[in-house]
Amino acid sequence: MVYQDLRKKVEAVILDSYQDMYRLAYSYVRNEQDAMDIVQESVYKCICHADKVKKETYIKTWVWRVVINTALDWKKKYTREVAVDEIRDIYYESADSPYDVVNALKVLKGEERLMIILYYFEGFTLEEVAKMLGMNTNTMKTTLYRSLKKLKQRILKGGDN
């Protein structure tokens, strides 16, 4: 009975954050179909392995970690080039902007970029992001602020100029 309750709570978290999961997957693969495949595979994994969640408070963090790992596995398996136009809809500041966030984020390494996306765009707390990435919270803060400095320098230089 405990497993069934936990599974229902996992399903509820999935339903509440399905669009956010898609957006996260899309930020990795930059392709609608592939992002949907990643989300569906992640949902399947989460439902099948709901008993792996140690505490109820970790469900959302655990679900997001599954999406991240599934996206990373997909990238390793199917890495390919994607046109920049396909990315414009996600994390794009505005058409009038001299730079866009996607190009500014390119200056960051994968984990740094992920921290920015999860914390600033998806609204997770520092503790939740640290847990998802398997990091100490203080280490994550240091890396996050260093990443923000890199972004600021990139923006002050005028984007790609």
Q: Is the pLDDT of residue 14 over 70?
A: yes
What distance in Å separates the CA atoms of residue 145 and residue 26, rounded to the nearest whole number? 24
- Report pLDDT for 102: 64
- Report pLDDT for 21: 93
pLDDT, one tens digit per residue, over 23-74 is: 999 988 888 999 999 999 999 999 999 988 888 888 999 999 999 999 988 8
Gyration radius of the chain over CA positions = 17
More confident residue, 83 or 76: 76
Domains, in order of start, for the chain: 1-90 (1.10.1740.10), 92-161 (1.10.10.10)
Angle, helices 2-16 vs 18-29, to 10°: value is 70
- In 3-state terms, the chain is what percent helix, strand and coil (to 5)? 75, 0, 25
Nearest to 89 by CA among 155, 31, 148, 152: 31
Contact assessment for residue 159 and residue 99, using Cβ atoms and an 8 Å cutoff: yes
Contact assessment for residue 53 and residue 62, using Cβ atoms and an 8 Å cutoff: yes
pTM of the model: 0.58
